[in-house]
Structure 1
């Protein structure tokens, strides 16, 4: 097996184990513990040591990991290098009281999370993952149970073309009416009963009255794969943004800096704007940095000086030129699958970056023979955005948006080039070294 195929296989295996943001953090924590990182807790006092390797989970779906150099953070311009990605992805989230019984069918009441492409979720085997909150020792300490049901539980059936002859011309879908997953046969007499909660309770090994709430996502119950005549491509759910999460993890796992601080931030809620307590649009990154610098130096301005000379990579996926819709791309800047890491730029600053940031990342890639390319939106297209511009507005540090190029971004199943994951991981390793 070639190195590129090994990288693709590891990515697919990681994605398979990470079916919700909570499972992304759980799997990431397991990797970090295996690599010798020590867990810290937000509510505890932190005692940090030179050369220490640490991680902290925030509300179960965001994670920070960092490693300290052997030298003090005080009295010198010790380098601060950070990389950020996000743990969430477009999907359907279950509403409370999710069971809907009608005409003998049991469907689940869901709502879209993020900007998903609705039609790509039709007729796929789907499952559920997330967390269930159970009654605990007292009201302020409920018990959390992570759940993943790695088998097909439901599907969202299309309407037959015989009943909608115009489906291939319009095919518009209503998220509330057309996108309810079919999960059970409940019989006509069950029209007013809640069939879902008893099933969930039995699956968790508890009584229905023990369940206080849940945060559950539907996900495609399909394993990713490589494809193509030379296996050049990866097809998988959740490439956005678990490609970047894994690259950040690999970068921080390998680094043992002589001086300074290396940190990765894996935020939740990027797909819905980042403005949550565990998102990039909060003070959580600045809070973690402040605690580190307060613990490791008595200099009141040490963090401010470190940020002024620091660097953040915002790592998220990018759009590749589409083989059937090339006119949707910029006429000159046209990234392709398999051609390397994408440096994303936008005059609007929807992608974070400036001329110095581009120069730094380009020079670093070229020094290490890592292929790179650019992305810009068409001037008449708004395009997307990432957490980089948001995070750097709360933590003012030079920032550059980069990522692996994709086709079918926000589809239930996305496509990338195998070689691009290898290039992304190599860049994160040398950046965080």
Structure 2
């Protein structure tokens, strides 16, 4: 099967977006290439109709927006939000653990990780490093990505743990510690990792004050299946949505209203942070846009009532080996369209009016979609949709790509579903 542009963009992003900071960096590059102008939250904004803008918040959240050339205050917002972080491991301070001469890095688990899926894989390191500066209130901040396999979490041989295939619990502190290297005779462990990091960045080890560093799966994504109808790749949750939103807001041609695409951080750990969906960031920015265009807060409040939010995050496809895990009448399948996700608990923030809007867009544009609902005797996670809609009371729909192996170090999806999500988001931002 011939590879299409939607697959190309997604696979490129899964290779380069190796931390939440790199997710934002790569999104920013796409926006800048498309002519978007960067603005800063601490500055006054001079916005114009027909303008395209973006704002980066603490390096790990990005907010892009366009203003229609025929914009009027009552037009309202078309909002779409997703997250750019992913489950994995973060390196702790003073990380060196030395046992029998082997150097391991002490890590903490970030999000709901399928631990076993990280064993015996080539792993690397990426994230943000903060350096000493002359102005103590403005330290120097740099991103780093080693872009080579540095670490492994080796499994134990089945000969030494014969009950392995019966299901063995992995201890996060003792059995999931990545192996970095082996000390030479007489070599000290102190500063082992700091020196490696300093050498990679071309700085002095003593100038490294702090860091936020991911351990990430170094393997690249690829097409698989007899007809190359599937994608296997790290970080599909939730780079599928990041790329869909970025492509859509760049390609859309709506002349009325304001389109907004947000990539949040910290969704995998609950969204409760200054960069997360539980912050007041979205309200602050939308109000600032309206004020910069000369409208009152009352006009903003009125416009919100005719606005819509899409919460874009991956969904669960029915697995052929675990079919009983899914709802008996709502079974999402790979390559049959993106999923509209529903839950009366509001774990997915959907309502019938908002879903009807999505369905009509799909019918108008000939876009495939499916519906996903959890089994009544279980749950399958939540999203930032219900969080944002509690802060900003707009009609909201949760949707996303159906997939297998969610939260594994390598995930699995249908290639056609990315196209359906991108086409929907583009139509949503255009109609």
Deviations 1:160-197 (A, max 9, x none): 11111111102210010100000111146456523111
Show the counterpart of 2:118: 121
Counterpart Cα distance in 1 of 2:427 and 2:134: 47
Counterpart Cα distance in 2 of 1:223 and 1:318: 22
1:71 deviates by 2.7
Q: Is the contact made by 2:287 and 2:297 (CA closer than 8 Å) also made in structure 1?
A: no
Counterpart Cα distance in 2 of 1:43 and 1:300: 19
Deviations 1:86-121 (A, max 9, x none): 010001000011111121101000011000100000
Equivalence map 1:160-239=2 (5 Å) = 160-187=157-184, 189-190=186-187, 193-239=190-236
1:37 deviates by 0.3
Deviations 1:311-358 (A, max 9, x none): 000000000001100000001100000000100000100001101011
Deviations 1:200-231 (A, max 9, x none): 11111111110000110000111000000000
1:48 deviates by 0.5
Counterpart Cα distance in 2 of 1:32 and 1:193: 42
Q: Is the contact made by 1:197 and 1:208 (CA closer than 8 Å) also made in structure 2?
A: yes
Counterpart Cα distance in 1 of 2:328 and 2:312: 24
Counterpart Cα distance in 2 of 1:191 and 1:50: 61
Range 293-302 or range 31-40, more displaced: 293-302
Tell me if 1:86 matches 2:83: yes
Deviations 1:23-64 (A, max 9, x none): 111111111011010000111111101111000000000000
Q: Choose the corresponding residue for 2:267, options 264, 267, 270.
A: 270
Gaps of 5+ in 1: none
Show the counterpart of 2:32: 33
Show the counterpart of 2:46: 47
Counterpart Cα distance in 2 of 1:265 and 1:192: 42
1:73 deviates by 3.2
Q: Is the contact made by 1:108 and 1:181 (CA closer than 8 Å) also made in structure 2?
A: yes
Counterpart Cα distance in 2 of 1:230 and 1:166: 37
Q: Is the contact made by 1:81 and 1:431 (CA closer than 8 Å) also made in structure 2?
A: yes
Q: Is the contact made by 1:99 and 1:107 (CA closer than 8 Å) also made in structure 2?
A: yes
Q: Is the contact made by 1:101 and 1:193 (CA closer than 8 Å) also made in structure 2?
A: no
Q: Is the contact made by 1:133 and 1:214 (CA closer than 8 Å) also made in structure 2?
A: yes
Counterpart Cα distance in 2 of 1:137 and 1:73: 47
Q: How large is the RMSD of aligned CA atoms in angstroms?
A: 1.2
Equivalence map 1:4-403=2 (5 Å) = 5-74=4-73, 77-187=74-184, 189-190=186-187, 193-403=190-400
Counterpart Cα distance in 1 of 2:392 and 2:50: 24
The alignment partner of 1:277 has SS state of coil
Gaps of 5+ in 2: none
Aligned length: 430
Deviations 1:364-386 (A, max 9, x none): 11111100000000000022000
The alignment partner of 2:47 has SS state of coil
Q: Is the contact made by 1:128 and 1:219 (CA closer than 8 Å) also made in structure 2?
A: yes
Q: Is the contact made by 1:37 and 1:53 (CA closer than 8 Å) also made in structure 2?
A: yes
Q: Is the contact made by 1:37 and 1:55 (CA closer than 8 Å) also made in structure 2?
A: yes
Q: Give the TM-score of the pair, scaled to structure 1.
A: 0.97
Counterpart Cα distance in 2 of 1:340 and 1:19: 27
User: Which structure 1 residue ranges, 4+ long, deviate > 4 Å from structure 2?
Assistant: 188-192
Q: Is the contact made by 2:267 and 2:384 (CA closer than 8 Å) also made in structure 1?
A: yes
Q: Give the TM-score of the pair, scaled to structure 2.
A: 0.98
